[in-house]
Structure 1
Amino acid sequence: MGRQRGSGTPSEHTDTGERPGRARGRRWRRGVLALCVACAVAVPLAGAARPRVPAPSPAVLAPPAAATLGATYAANRANAAQAARMAAEHGDRGRAAADRGLADPARQLLAFDGRGAGRATEVLGDLAHADRIAVLVPGSDTGLDTYGRFRAAALALHERLTLEAPAGTRTAVVAWLGYETPGTVSTTVATTGRAEEAAPALRDVVGDLRAVVGQRPGISLLCHSYGSVVCARAADGLDVDDIALVGSPGTGADTAADLRTRARIWAARGADDWVGNVPHLSAGLFGTTVGFGTDPLSPAFGARVFAAGDGGHSDYFAPGSPSLTNLTRIVLAETRAVTS
């Protein structure tokens, strides 16, 4: 919110010609509006308690390289196995099971941190030789306890990419749970704070991928819900080809051009997604900005809008859905085949 200029007695006018009482009323209404935005984003989903179970510190590793990926995966699996044992000793069987799943010898963990709600970066496919790479960025209430549903989305995309990729084109999907996601019923879900904290980590993982694969492969960010705010905050100068915003409440930017990226910006929303009912507004409240501004599907934003079908907020990666079909085409750079 802009600072009120001018001072004086209540009988005096401000330099905008507005009486102080009216200005206070306007600020109050904007505050109420901001609270409404927060409620609109938070209320439709039920929040989940954030577990605090003991876990080891993450493995200390050198930056990944194509030649060392196997060692990186093995070290992070070992860390996940240790986290599973500690969670089991603590009596948290659900977390222990989640950690054991990530410690399976078949899993390819580029990063793992079992502390708190947990973080993990998992690779599906042969990253070192991939020609096209998709990085999935999740939204609110995604942690190790709910990682299964996030991984299911990554698996569905990887299966579709494998099926649809032209002969000789190799693909990989990176499920990036690399930040502390906000709770769906919380004040943080309606502000850009967590996204601003997460953006450097997202830029780092893209840099790590480039270090592994070089400049040849195309990289796409597929950003769901609050993850679209994270992608927007990381976009400036990021070395990716496409950024797809699905189920986005807004990005905090007025236009796609404001993201200052060479990447193509895409946007989609399912017909039954409750995010469509969220007011696309932003307002200052208690020293922060609440709400995410322009609707990414609006012509004013300037994204390439694509079809997502009739699905809801969690259906963008559902097998057979129009959204998954179009996301697959975006990752494969088949942009002319994307339907609107």
Structure 2
Amino acid sequence: MLTVEQLRQVRPGRVAAVADALRADAARMASVVEQAVESAGKDLANWHGPAATASTAHRHALVDDARRLGEARTQAATVVADVAERLDEATQLLSLADSFAELVGCRVHGRAEVTVLPSTMLGPLANVYDSVRRTAASLAARALVVAEAADLHASRELGAAPGELADPEPADRPQVTAPPAGAGGSALASADDADPDPPAEQPDDADRLDELSTRHSSVHDLAPAVMLLYAGMSAARRRAARTKRPRLVAGLPGAPLPERYAASRQLIDESRSELRRSRSELAAAAGGERSVARARTTDAINQRIGTLNSFLATRAVSAVDPASGSRVTNRYERSFLGFDPSGAGRVAEVFGDLARARNVAVLVPGGRNGLDTFNSLAADARLLADTAGAGTAVVVWLGYDSAGAAGPGGMSARARSGATALRRFVAGITPNLLPGARTVLLGHGFGTVLVAAALRAGYQPDDVVFVGSAGLGERIRSAADLRPATPSGRDDLPDPVLRAHTGTRCWAVRAPGDTLAYSRVHGADPADFADVTRLDTQGGTEVVGHDRYYAIGSESLDNLARVVAGRLTEVTGTDTTLEEELALAGLDRPAAVVHPPGQAPVDGVLGSLDGVLTRPATDRSSPAAQQPTMAQSSGTQRPAATQSPTTGAGG
């Protein structure tokens, strides 16, 4: 495997010079062949007979060989130029990693390791040092992945000798000690270590991934290690790993996105098969007898199977072909990042090219949602991605106990544990994003409480949007109250140093007639905060109530898309009063949002699946796995001015 010491010796400019030389050779060869053919034709114009025929055939064969050789050199030049670009990207990433490490007196070495200084030398800078060190390690790991991928690409396309393209003039390079035998399979690293397949007696890749997941509790430590391991795995080995451990791969930080998508689909298919077996066993055990409980369970199983069928079905997308002007319909598989069918279920879906998006939005839905309501959430995410336009990816993340999220009694524990799961999820996909990609969090209803908790814990996206919020927490009365309450160097947080934020911009949306937002059951409404910009919802398609914010053709959807796409100068704002909103919605006063004590926030069918399908709660590899509950808030009573007559809220 490649080390950072070896990568420092790579000269992308020399590789690019090889590509230029190949193109020049091809051009000269074509010119020489053309001149030779023309000259021979003139010289032999009056030559006839068998010898002339044989000479002409031989000349044509030589011309064909020369033409094929020229084309091969041209193709090789294209491949080498692509490799040069990748190596240049890798060296720039490594240079940035070195710069970060030098900030705290460290050095990057080996396989993206960074010098660890004794805590006695750090003092009050311990948190800053740890964050910078992790950033340097993450950048160096990404540099190695890019360089090894370039090397593998060159080897496959050109059949190049190991390390041949790393430096066309190796005599100018200082001697580098070769890595120990069995260290891996990079052609840039060692000619004797070109086979990426591990010895049969060693643990397989799935076991290695599991061992990494066990060893690294921090996402920032785990993701680079996973990326490096995958860089040396062939397609067959990757397929074998996800087939053996789909739950692990589906939620594994740093794993290639296509691997996580494929593993998630495997989990969905396995869950559907298990439900079908459960339905057959239930019917066989009934023996023709009828009961209300059995019928209810069977209906719940059928509903869940239908949901999973829709997850596995391909989607049709129509677009106008700019070349022909005709409408073309393409079909594609849905892209899920993790899947957990237990209870109401947890899942995340991606719309757009997440790995290449310049703008990445994560939608956090509100309460009373599960797998069987997820398609409506996915429809909103798809509309947002389409409206935001090219260069945007939207992830709808249902990775917390949304179905039980209503009501102030358990709000603190659910919000904090859900916020932890949200931060870990975003940290897990960050290594797969473009460097510097904008990130936006959009919380809806109770999802705004999770987003606020994530901000309080130190996560710093570029923008956050609070949609139809019934409050962000009892003590949150301004955007300033969302400043991190804990050090930014915590292991489970996305790295704030890498982006060097000056602050997260806060936006809010509240539509006329949104009775849940009016209830303020979770605290003050962020739409009324002086330091939060409120987006307009009126214009185009009418938006009234809590569930219409993503209506096609509405100013609400357009404004959300403008924030996601970074077109901030185009947003439209509003400062309508409660009375004006009630008039727009045709209401006299806000309606109370009440859940009777003990009533489940989700009716019937979701709860009926308990016991039919279960998943181990300790499976930490799934992004939807149960997260450890964090400490609840102190329980301070809300001042009388902000108390709500309601006893719970969905959304």
TM-score between both structures, scaled by the size of structure 2: 0.39
* Structure 2 residue aligned with 1:233: 453
Distance in 2, matches of 1:79 and 1:220, equals 28
Distance in 2, matches of 1:151 and 1:299, equals 29
* Structure 2 residue aligned with 1:293: 523
For residue 567 of structure 2, the aligned residue among 328, 334, 337 is 334
Q: SS of the residue aligned with 1:129?
A: coil
Q: How does 1:306-317 map to 2 (within 5 A)?
A: 306-309=535-538, 310-317=543-550
Is the CA contact 1:58–1:112 (under 8 Å) kept in the aligned structure 2? no
Pair 1:125–1:327, CA change in 2 (3 A): same
Kindly indicate whether residue 518 of structure 2 is the aligned counterpart of residue 277 of structure 1.
Answer: yes
Q: How does 1:7-86 map to 2 (within 5 A)?
A: 59-61=247-249, 63-65=252-254, 68-86=256-274
Larger Cα Rg: Structure 1 or Structure 2?
A: 2
Q: SS of the residue aligned with 2:395?
A: strand
Q: SS of the residue aligned with 1:297?
A: helix
Cα offset for 1:65?
Answer: 3.8
Cα offset for 1:134?
Answer: 0.9
Is the CA contact 1:206–1:239 (under 8 Å) kept in the aligned structure 2? no
Q: How does 1:152-301 map to 2 (within 5 A)?
A: 152-162=379-389, 165=390, 170-183=391-404, 187=407, 191-236=411-456, 237-252=458-473, 253-260=476-483, 262-278=503-519, 280=520, 291-300=521-530
* Structure 1 residue aligned with 2:69: none
Pair 1:188–1:83, CA change in 2 (3 A): farther
Is the CA contact 1:221–1:243 (under 8 Å) kept in the aligned structure 2? yes
For residue 90 of structure 1, the aligned residue among 251, 273, 278 is 278
How many pairs does the alignment contain?
264
Deviation digits for residues 215-248 of structure 1 (CA, Å, limit 9, x no counterpart) = 4110101110000001001113214101100100
Distance in 2, matches of 1:152 and 1:124, equals 10
Distance in 2, matches of 1:311 and 1:210, equals 35
Kindly indicate whether residue 311 of structure 2 is the aligned counterpart of residue 102 of structure 1.
Answer: yes
Deviation digits for residues 183-241 of structure 1 (CA, Å, limit 9, x no counterpart) = 47x54587333111101111011112211114411010111000000100111321410
- Structure 1, unpaired ranges of 5+: 1-56, 281-290
Q: SS of the residue aligned with 2:309?
A: helix
Distance in 2, matches of 1:321 and 1:189, equals 35
Deviation digits for residues 66-89 of structure 1 (CA, Å, limit 9, x no counterpart) = 7x2111100110000111122233
* Structure 1 residue aligned with 2:187: none
Distance in 2, matches of 1:265 and 1:199, equals 17
Pair 1:212–1:218, CA change in 2 (3 A): same
Deviation digits for residues 275-309 of structure 1 (CA, Å, limit 9, x no counterpart) = 2431x3xxxxxxxxxx4222211145x21111123
Is the CA contact 2:470–2:518 (under 8 Å) kept in the aligned structure 1? no
Distance in 1, matches of 2:523 and 2:263, equals 42
Task: Name the structure, 1 or 2, with higher relative contact order (CA <8 Å, separation 6+).
Answer: 1
Is the CA contact 2:365–2:444 (under 8 Å) kept in the aligned structure 1? yes
Is the CA contact 1:78–1:103 (under 8 Å) kept in the aligned structure 2? no
Distance in 2, matches of 1:58 and 1:331, equals 32
Cα offset for 1:122?
Answer: 0.8
Kindly indicate whether residue 556 of structure 2 is the aligned counterpart of residue 323 of structure 1.
Answer: yes
User: Which letter maps to 1:311?
Assistant: V
Is the CA contact 2:344–2:403 (under 8 Å) kept in the aligned structure 1? no
Deviation digits for residues 125-173 of structure 1 (CA, Å, limit 9, x no counterpart) = 11111111111100011100111111111111111122xx5xxxx1111
Kindly indicate whether residue 352 of structure 2 is the aligned counterpart of residue 125 of structure 1.
Answer: yes
Is the CA contact 1:188–1:194 (under 8 Å) kept in the aligned structure 2? no
Matched residues, percent identical? 37
Deviates more, 1:131-140 or 1:214-223: 214-223
Distance in 2, matches of 1:103 and 1:59, equals 17
Pair 1:246–1:274, CA change in 2 (3 A): same
Distance in 1, matches of 2:529 and 2:266, equals 49
Q: SS of the residue aligned with 2:363?
A: strand
Distance in 1, matches of 2:337 and 2:386, equals 20
User: Which letter maps to 2:468?
Assistant: G
Q: SS of the residue aligned with 1:87?
A: helix
Deviation digits for residues 239-279 of structure 1 (CA, Å, limit 9, x no counterpart) = 4101100100010112111111621111110112112431x
Is the CA contact 1:182–1:189 (under 8 Å) kept in the aligned structure 2? no
More helix as a share of residues: 2
* Structure 1 residue aligned with 2:341: 114
Distance in 2, matches of 1:174 and 1:248, equals 20
Cα offset for 1:90?
Answer: 3.0
Is the CA contact 2:383–2:552 (under 8 Å) kept in the aligned structure 1? yes
- Structure 2, unpaired ranges of 5+: 1-244, 280-300, 315-332, 485-502, 574-651
Q: SS of the residue aligned with 1:235?
A: helix
User: Which letter maps to 1:125?
Assistant: G
User: Which letter maps to 2:483?
Assistant: R
* Structure 1 residue aligned with 2:199: none
TM-score between both structures, scaled by the size of structure 1: 0.73
User: Which letter maps to 1:332?
Assistant: A
Is the CA contact 1:136–1:174 (under 8 Å) kept in the aligned structure 2? yes
User: Which letter maps to 1:258?
Assistant: D
